[in-house]
Amino acid sequence: MPLPKIPSKPATLLLAKDYPKASGANPTPAIAAEVAAPATAAKKAPAKAAAKPVAVAKPVAVATPAVVAKAAPAAKPAAVKGKPKAAILQAAPPHAPAGEASPTPSKVKAAPAARAKVTPITAEAPHPAKHKPVEVSLKSSTSRHADQTGQTKLFVLDTNVLMHDPSSLFRFEEHDVYLPMMTLEELDNHKKGMTEVARNARQVSRTLDALVSNTDDDAIEKGIPLSKLGNKDAKGRLYFQTRLQSADLPAGLPVGKADNQILAVVRSLEGEQEGRPVVLVSKDINMRIKARALGLPAEDYFNDHVLEDTDLLYSGIVQLPDDFWNKHGKDMESWQENKNGQSATYYRVTGPFVPSMLVNQFIFLEPKNGEAPFYGQVKQINGKTAVLQTLRDFSHNKNNVWGVTARNREQNFALNLLMNPECDFVTLLGQAGTGKTLLALAAGLAQVLETKLYNEIIVTRVTVPVGEDIGFLPGTEEEKMSPWMGAFDDNLEVLNKSDSDGGEWGRAATQDLIRSRIKIKSLNFMRGRTFVNKFLIIDEAQNLTPKQIKTLVTRAGPGTKILCLGNIAQIDTPYLTEGSSGLTYVVDRFKGWSHSGHVTLARGERSRLADHASEVL
């Protein structure tokens, strides 16, 4: 699920309808239906708004037939869809200026400007600001048609696809891959350096070398099997550009530009391979726009997308239906256990909604008749039987964590994960001001300095600047990383203010002690390390690729807990989207594992100003 909408009244929690309700064995259709409902309403709203074009078109003094002709299709889009374009143009002649007679056919042809002014008024109604725009299909029409007919496609790869995912050559299943010579040239230009892009370029070059080795010249012309290196899923062939291919592109395009040369190759292949779908794959948006403007099929590389629609991202929370206990209370068992010094009540329930749950998912039921709400966590699932555990109430001051108490339902769920020693991997998603960093730091300090469960806190984040880079920084690794850790300094200041018993000297001593237990590390030196009994916090994890996040999570040794914090709406890394971010990747892959948990924090608690800014800006 996406980040739920923050309510306009900060004093109230999110409405119950903002969470998905548990459904049958497969919860996805129910969630998709809730997501589709606002989109349907958004489609109907513009149609109603477009039914009154006369009030908008102020310059027109007389209601000409064009207004009536264009207003009717807006109310019935299905009827217009079937009409040919020429019929629509004939039914909608251009406006006549006030006081002039009805335009003659010759004047109709000579007045395209007036038509251009009228079209946006009726065709484009303003979308409601709160609704998500309709998702555009990822595949091109040529690719969709080939899928329907069962044809194998020829994918022409742009250089940025290979540099983004070095294994992309083997991700196209039974389809063939074509590499223009300009793609190889650009790979050669980017192979030097220690950046992730340079490493990927060198990896692709090594892969291509292994594919080309021990092959004849004729084999290169006929295509090299992509399964040669043991990739059984890749059943297609790899083709290289072996001769100069000329194609007629518009005269205004610069011939020496690499993108235009690749477009020329695609145009030439379309002429040579008649009847076979040829599709350009590129991560460059402008390249795809240029290709479509020239009539060439182009699409994004979306094999790395975990989800095509981030609305279906696992939120870690589900609302139980009102009749849950009536349907699942029969033969229910309950008992109490004492774990980690805390007593908890367990319920074993059986019913039709259990298969839609996941292990470590949080559940809640807030009855409307004034009864006490139920907050729990799924601990075990076996067919239609589940074991539910009640939660510790961290909103009460007696259960505070380093002076911090949960201010809403989601923060309470998050603290239950952070303070659970059985949970090794925790992901927290949320908008700015939802308390991700504060909760993580408070839980870390409590378990490092009070319960001594971990030795120290290690904090790291990807150093992607929001604005222009300020250049090289002096000092050690920790001093170079300190400007990026302003968020943790702010939260440490908040956590230290709660200790007022020792006075100013006591606070200073406490701060020195805390600083000695917090280490700030750079991502660049993580490869090969092993962390034992550490509390590792990865901040701004939405800027990490799936490969980078795998490198970090596999650093965990015995007794280490890893936290990933982030907001997928604020991605600064080029070529990363909400669907392909490393944070989205781990949330989707780790859901349902008994030693991991995820919570999407919903409500901002920073200040009323920050809450209002998050809502209206």
Q: What is the pLDDT of residues 325-363, one digit of tens each?
A: 888 888 899 999 988 778 899 999 999 999 999 999 999
In angstroms, rounded to a whole number, what is the distance separating the alpha carbons of residues 544 and 461? 9
Return the closest-CA partner of residue 37 out of 122, 125, 124, 130: 130
**380: its two tokens:** 């075990």
Per the model's pLDDT, the better-predicted residue between 615 and 335 turns out to be 335
Q: Does position 555 have pLDDT exceeding 50, yes or no?
A: yes
The three-class DSSP label of residue 148 is helix
Distance, CA of 174 to CA of 226 (rounded, Å): 10
Residue of 122 and 214 predicted with greater confidence: 214
The pLDDT of residue 488 = 66
- 3-state DSSP assignment of residue 611: helix
* DSSP code for 531: B
Nearest by Cα to 481 from 507, 501, 463, 456:
463
Where residue 202 falls among pLDDT bands split at 50, 70, 90? very high
**Cβ atoms of residues 459 and 519 within 8 Å:** yes
Q: Name the DSSP class of 544.
A: S
Q: Which residues contact 563 (CB under 8 A, 6 or more apart)?
A: 418, 426, 427, 428, 440, 535, 536, 537, 538
pTM value > 0.85: no
Residue 319 pLDDT grade (very low, low, confident, very high; cuts 50, 70, 90): very high
Q: How far is 192 from 188, CA to CA, in rounded Å?
A: 8
465 confidence band (pLDDT: 50, 70, 90):
low
Asked if 62 contacts 96 with a C-beta cutoff of 8 angstroms, the reply is yes
Helix (H) or strand (E) holding 180: none
E-strand ranges in 320-383 read 333-339, 342-350, 362-365, 374-382
Phi-psi region of 214 (alpha: psi -120 to 50; beta: other; left: phi over 0): left
Q: Which two structure tokens, joined as six digits, stand for 288?
A: 């795809």
Can you give 414-442 as a three-state secondary structure string?
HHHHHCCCCCCEEEEEECCCCCHHHHHHH
Question: How many Cβ atoms are within 10 Å of 142's Cβ, its own excluded?
Answer: 18
Helix (H, G, I), strand (E, B) or coil at 3: coil
- Residue 25: exposure state from Cβ atoms within 10 A (0-12, 13-18, ≥19): exposed
Reported as a pLDDT band with limits 50, 70 and 90, residue 252 is confident
Q: Which of 360, 310, 318 shows the shortest CA–CA distance to 583? A: 310
pLDDT digits (tens, 9 = 90+) for 365-410: 988 888 889 999 999 999 899 999 999 999 999 999 988 999 999 9
Of 366, 325, 332, 364, the C-alpha closest to 349 is 332
Within 13 Å and on the Cβ side, how many CA atoms surround 433?
15
Residue 117 scores a pLDDT above 50:
no
For residue 290, the model assigns a pLDDT of: 92
What is the pLDDT at residue 386? Answer: 94
Beta strands in 431-505 (DSSP E): 456-461
Determine the Cα–Cα distance for residues 435 and 569; give it in Å rounded to an integer: 16
Q: Of 316, 314, 333, 315, which Cα lies nearest the Cα of 388?
A: 333
Neighbouring C-beta atoms of residue 525, cutoff 10 Å: 10
Residue matched to tokens 């299709």 = 73
Closest of 416, 414, 425, 422 to residue 552, by C-alpha? 425
Q: How far apart are CA 148 and CA 515, in angstroms?
A: 61
Question: Measured between alpha carbons, how far is 400 from 446 in angstroms, rounded to an integer?
Answer: 10
pLDDT at 309: 59
Question: For 16-37, what is the mean pLDDT?
Answer: 49
At residue 141 the predicted structure's pLDDT band, cuts being 50, 70 and 90, is confident
Q: Has residue 63 got a pLDDT over 50?
A: no
CA distance 573 to 546: 12
8 Å CB contact between 560 and 402: no
Lowest mean pLDDT among 430-434, 438-442, 477-481, 592-596: 477-481
What is the residue whose two structure tokens read 């497969």? 26
CA-atom Rg of the chain in angstroms: 30
Token readout for 131 is: 């609704």
The pLDDT value recorded for residue 17 is: 60
Residue 598 confidence class, pLDDT cut points 50, 70, 90: very high
How many CA within 13 A on the CB side of residue 611?
18
How confident is the model at residue 127, as a pLDDT?
39
CA–CA gap between residue 543 and residue 582 (Å, rounded): 7
User: Helices marked H in 273-338 — which ranges?
Assistant: 285-293, 324-328
Domains and CATH numbers, the chain: 141-300 (3.40.50.1010), 311-390 (2.40.30), 409-464+475-613 (3.40.50.300)
Give the pLDDT score at 50. 39
